[in-house]
Amino acid sequence: MTSINLDRLAAEHAQQMVSNLEKDNKSVAVLERLVTKTLGVLQAQGVYAMMLYLWSRSGDENKIAPVIRNECYALIKELPDFSGITVPEEKSDDKTTLKFYSSDAVQKIDTLLLIRDLYEQTLIYARYGAKSASKEK
């Protein structure tokens, strides 16, 4: 059995969220704000609610939400439990994504808790990464 360093995965995908932005203060500030709100939804309501929240954004947040969603999709693809399952892609629509998170992602409680914890750590790192990037400007 291969061991996976989940903290490394969280850090890499958080860095990717920040680096995928246009490098201006506004985008970084919106990312920091959206990641903070998304983290709150995840902690209070769970993984499905987090994805629903990201799909419901408007305005500037609607432009940044795909950055977060796409890294979450990429992150979950690296988990062995999802090797034979179709995980949402970058171009997936809300129905496809929400169906995945309401069926495949929640089949086993251990997997669901792993996803929640992994997303939580990733969002925390992304929040601090965005804060750091905004200070560099």
Tell me the mean pLDDT per 10 residues along the chain, length 137.
86 94 80 97 96 95 94 91 80 89 85 94 96 77
Q: 137 in a domain, yes or no?
A: no
- Burial, 131: exposed, middle or buried (Cβ in 10 Å; 0-12, 13-18, 19+)? middle
Q: 57 in a domain, yes or no?
A: yes
**pLDDT for the residue 81:** 78
pTM: 0.91
Q: 84 in a domain, yes or no?
A: yes
Count of domains forming the chain: 1
The answer to whether the beta carbons of residues 111 and 105 sit under 8 Å apart is yes
Cα 30 to Cα 26: distance, rounded to the nearest angstrom: 6
Distances (CA, A) of 134 to 6, 18, 33, 65: 26, 10, 12, 18
CATH number for the domain harbouring residue 90: 1.10.520.30
Q: 1 in a domain, yes or no?
A: no
**pLDDT for the residue 73:** 93
Q: Which domain holds residue 126?
A: 6-132
